[in-house]
């Protein structure tokens, strides 16, 4: 006798129910209504409201003068409220109270100077609405990995406050992973658990039902975020089918299932759930009337073990080279270690223990020895391939680990199966030695699926290019003269250094690397160095960026004018001669001129007779020309009055002698 169980938490949540009731209330009052986007993610409900005259608009300005705009349960940005008020448009706010609470948190904490972090789907309207209530920096992370990556790339001081919130329908297990990352990588973070309690309860009950039943039916809109999460959650435990209406029930073969669980997303109306239950009851009632002999034959057939059959086994013992399982047959079930997983980074004893229930594939039956050889990795691969196909259709990015180098590319392990990555798709730059990629964690897109052969191709390059493009677009949106960046030196030329600013390159001209004259950029920086630079100028059309590297605080002239003034007596070193004087180094990068008339109190015919290059002397600063950055020095000014008189008398005596 087949049995089915309906989840107690199936169907409309409080927020959705409130939003729908508000629309029906407007209809009952014979008021025209227009929802800002679909009121809920359920096509049947949206169609039903459309028949009652409720329009869907994408902007407040699309509303007709006599219409009342309904803000859906997902909520909207603050700018939408401002637009409604500015144009005096009548509206009803059906934002879920749980979502509105997040809006208040984000507004308050953002105004206080915190950087807002949102765990959720950046494309979901709820998340977009939450972002729109932040007055400062705000970032969205799909999962714990993206949250960690953000911590590595964000340029904020160590004391910068962060606030982490979650999309109300966010997966609870993902949220736990995000909490670990937040506490480990964000030193000053405040966490608000904003997952809706109804969502958490619905997910927990769905997981429990899936573990207890052979088949799970999830009812809801195929574009509903929370419904898709329920489907993924249940699929981890048993066969799972997602349907929108009772009409799709007829396509399901219930003959292989004895226990059936049913749940529904938060956007699924009660009448659709009732229709599904009614249709199921009729189908199951008809199936129970089948001939007893047929049922007996099917029962006996189900006990047979043959190659390719999927079975469930309970682990009875674990050894380094094999796992013994009870599959409910007369033969002993054995899983060789190499048939457990393709992941080279795990140990068998770390992933399975006595009492675990495993889904397996029969690969060999030896009736003489009474042994059935089983494979978990092949079963995982079959289930994983379904996930691969879903990822291909949705163009979802997958996390993978490169495990093997093969002809023409590499193999990457993800979703329990291996994906071939052609060599040109291993990176967005040429990889000379593919073996350097082994054991490397990568993110890839599925670019080709061959269902007949059960194979798929992936591309790391596609993900890197997409990320690079996104970074470039973000860069050009935010770039401004004077803004500082930290980047990696990618290459050097005779005239400068090229720096990767995160998806886009800028150039530091050789004259901007240091205050002194350089023969080559390598005197200051090398390829691979991380440097702090600032934007000197940029051209969006030509995609050119000029960077500055040298700092004003290191400017020799600035150091000189800060340290010295006119009339200061300083030690200097003679560095060169001219016909009109000698140049002396005051500090590295700043030279002063001692005019020939300022070297001594007597006439100097040849400077080399008085001074030598490298000689250190004391001189007095007699003039600083700030505009031309010139310094005039005098040795003569340091001679005592007696020395000056003596020199003067000597000169007169010499002149008189000449006259005789």
End-to-end CA distance of the chain: 145
Per-residue pLDDT tens over the stretch 231-272: 999 999 999 999 988 888 888 888 778 888 999 888 787 778
Residues facing residue 641 across a β-bridge: none
Fold assignment, 306-379: OB fold (Dihydrolipoamide Acetyltransferase, E2P) (2.40.50)
Q: What is the pLDDT of residue 620?
A: 94
Model confidence band, residue 19 (pLDDT cutoffs 50, 70, 90): confident
Q: What is the pLDDT of residue 127?
A: 95
CA distances from 189 to 113, 114, 350, 364 (A): 12, 9, 33, 54
Binding site listing for isopentenyl diphosphate: 41, 74, 124, 224-226, 267
Task: Tell whether the model's pLDDT for residue 102 goes beyond 70.
Answer: yes
Average pLDDT of the residues in 82-94? 92
Q: What is the pLDDT of residue 301?
A: 47
Higher-confidence residue of 172 and 628: namely 628
Maximum average pLDDT range among 3-17, 263-277, 368-382: 263-277
Q: What is the pLDDT of residue 294?
A: 43
Model confidence band, residue 618 (pLDDT cutoffs 50, 70, 90): very high
Find out if CATH 3.40.640.10 is the number for domain 561-646: no
Binding site listing: 13, 41, 74, 96, 124, 168, 196, 224-226, 267
Sign, CA torsion 650/653/655/658: negative
CATH 3.40.1010.20 domain extents, the chain = 97-195, 198-289
Model confidence band, residue 640 (pLDDT cutoffs 50, 70, 90): low
Task: Tell whether the model's pLDDT for residue 386 goes beyond 50.
Answer: yes
Name the class of domain 198-289: alpha beta
Find out if CATH 3.40.1010.20 is the number for domain 97-195: yes
Q: What is the CATH number of domain 13-93?
A: 3.40.50.11270
Binding site listing for dimethylallyl diphosphate: 41, 74, 124, 224-226, 267
* Residues 479-550, CATH architecture: Beta Barrel (2.40)
Q: What is the pLDDT of residue 495?
A: 92
Average pLDDT of the residues in 523-547? 90
Query: Considering the chain, what is the average pLDDT of its residues?
Result: 85
To the query of whether residue 655 is one of the catalytic residues in this protein, the response is no
Per-residue pLDDT tens over the stretch 626-639: 899 899 999 999 98
Average pLDDT of the residues in 70-82? 92
Buried-exposed string 285-313: b where 16+ CB fall within 10 A, e elsewhere: eeeeeeeeeeeeeeeeeeeebeeebebeb
Fold assignment, 395-465: OB fold (Dihydrolipoamide Acetyltransferase, E2P) (2.40.50)
Maximum average pLDDT range among 265-269, 298-302, 312-316, 398-402: 398-402
pTM score > 0.85 for this model? no
Per-residue pLDDT tens over the stretch 558-596: 889 999 999 999 999 999 999 999 999 999 889 999 999
**What's the CA gap between 21 and 32, in Å, rounded?**
15
CA distances from 28 to 23, 56, 82, 92 (A): 9, 18, 28, 15
Q: Which of 126, 244, 339, 512 is catalytic?
A: 126
Contact between 492 and 521 under an 8 Å Cβ cutoff? The reply is yes
Nearest to 210 by CA among 41, 49, 17, 5: 5
CATH 2.40.50.140 domain extents, the chain = 306-379, 395-465, 479-550, 561-646
Q: What is the pLDDT of residue 414?
A: 86
Average pLDDT of the residues in 497-510? 89
CATH 3.40.50.11270 domain extents, the chain = 13-93
């Amino acid at each position: 006798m087949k049995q089915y169980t309906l989840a107690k938490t199936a169907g409309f949540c409080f927020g959705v129910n409130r939003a729908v009731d508000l629309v029906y209330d407007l209809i009952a009052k014979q008021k025209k209504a227009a929802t800002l986007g679909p009121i809920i993610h359920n096509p049947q409900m949206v169609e039903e409201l459309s028949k009652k005259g409720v329009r869907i608009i994408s902007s407040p300005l699309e509303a007709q003068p006599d219409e009342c705009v309904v803000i859906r349960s997902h909520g909207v940005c603050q700018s939408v409220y401002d637009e409604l008020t500015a144009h005096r448009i009548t509206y009803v706010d059906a934002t879920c109270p749980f979502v509105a609470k997040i809006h208040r948190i984000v507004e308050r904490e953002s105004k206080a100077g915190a950087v807002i972090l949102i765990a959720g789907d950046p494309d979901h309207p709820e998340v977009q609405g939450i972002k729109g209530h932040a007055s400062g920096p705000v970032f969205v992370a799909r999962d714990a990995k993206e949250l960690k990556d953000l911590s590595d790339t964000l340029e904020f001081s160590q004391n910068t406050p962060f606030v982490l919130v979650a999309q109300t329908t966010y997966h609870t297990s993902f949220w736990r992973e995000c909490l670990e990352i937040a506490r480990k990588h964000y030193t000053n973070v405040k966490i608000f658990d904003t997952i809706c309690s109804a969502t958490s309860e619905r997910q927990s009950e769905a997981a429990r039902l899936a573990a207890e039943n052979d088949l799970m039916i999830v009812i809801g809109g195929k574009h509903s975020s929370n419904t898709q999460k329920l489907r993924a959650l249940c699929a981890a435990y048993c066969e799972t089918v997602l349907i929108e209406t009772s009409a799709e029930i007829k396509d399901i073969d219930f003959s292989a299932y004895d226990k059936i669980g049913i749940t529904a997303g938060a956007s699924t109306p009660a009448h659709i759930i009732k229709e599904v239950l009614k249709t199921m009851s009729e189908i199951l009632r008809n199936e129970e009337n089948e001939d007893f002999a047929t049922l007996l034959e099917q029962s006996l057939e189900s006990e047979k073990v043959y190659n390719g059959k999927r079975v469930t086994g309970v682990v009875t013992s674990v050894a380094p080279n094999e796992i013994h399982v009870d599959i409910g047959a007369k033969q002993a079930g054995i899983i060789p270690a190499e048939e457990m997983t393709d992941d080279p980074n795990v140990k068998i004893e770390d992933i399975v223990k006595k009492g675990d229930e495993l889904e397996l594939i029969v690969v060999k039956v030896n009736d003489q020895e009474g042994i059935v050889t089983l494979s978990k990795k092949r079963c995982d691969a079959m289930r994983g391939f379904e996930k691969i196909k879903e990822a291909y259709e949705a163009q979802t990015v997958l996390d993978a680990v490169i495990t093997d180098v093969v002809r023409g590319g590499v193999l990457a392990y993800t979703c329990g199966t291996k994906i071939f990555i052609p060599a040109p798709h291993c990176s967005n730059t040429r990889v000379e030695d593919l073996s350097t990629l082994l054991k490397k964690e990568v993110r890839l897109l599925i670019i080709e699926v061959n269902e007949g052969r059960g194979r798929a191709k992936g591309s790391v390059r596609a993900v890197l290019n997409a990320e690079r493009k996104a970074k470039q677009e973000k860069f050009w949106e935010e770039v401004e003269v004077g803004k500082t960046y930290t980047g990696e030196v990618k290459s050097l030329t005779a005239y400068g250094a090229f720096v990767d600013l995160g998806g886009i390159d800028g150039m530091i001209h050789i004259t901007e690397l240091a205050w002194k004259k350089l023969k080559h950029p390598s005197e200051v920086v090398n390829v691979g160095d991380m440097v702090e630079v600032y934007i000197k100028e940029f051209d969006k059309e030509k995609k050119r960026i000029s960077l500055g590297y040298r700092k004003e605080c290191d400017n020799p002239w600035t150091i000189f004018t800060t340290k010295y003034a006119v009339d200061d007596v300083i030690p200097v070193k003679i560095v060169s001669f001219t016909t009109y004087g000698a140049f002396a180094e005051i500090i590295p990068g700043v030279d002063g001129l001692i005019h020939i008339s300022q070297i001594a109190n007597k006439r100097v015919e040849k400077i080399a007779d008085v001074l030598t290059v490298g000689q250190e002397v004391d001189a007095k600063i007699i003039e600083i020309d700030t505009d031309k950055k010139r310094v005039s020095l005098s040795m003569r000014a340091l001679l005592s009055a007696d020395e000056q008189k003596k020199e003067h008398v000597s000169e007169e005596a010499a002149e008189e002698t000449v006259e005789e």
